[in-house]
Amino acid sequence: MRLDKFLKVSRIIKRRPLAKQVAEQNRIKVNDVVAKPSINVEVGDEITITFGQTILTVKVLNLKDHVKKEEATSLYEVVKEEKINQDE
């Protein structure tokens, strides 16, 4: 499944064009490699996303084309979430 589609379906990022834009700004890594929106993600991959002051790392647990809102979090597990300190 494409990275931008996975981020939308899992509701990590609300809209696919936004997921594409974030990836094109080199703010997403898959398995520690800067990822383009078209890269295919697979079960077991680790995705690291930089959102402003937060770095979110998730592990892909499942791939589905459509899920209900309540089931979206079953597609991934949060490995790490850290805040970036801008004062340094």
pLDDT exceeds 70 at position 86: no
pLDDT exceeds 70 at position 7: yes
pLDDT exceeds 80 at position 23: yes
Distance CA 33, CA 19 (A): 17
The SS3 call for residue 5 is helix
pLDDT tens digit string along 48-78? Answer: 999 989 999 999 999 999 899 999 999 999 9
On average, the pLDDT of the chain sits at 92
Where does the pLDDT of residue 87 fall: very low under 50, low under 70, confident under 90, or very high at 90 and above? low
What pTM was computed for the model? 0.88
**Domains of the chain, first to last:** 3-83 (3.10.290.10)
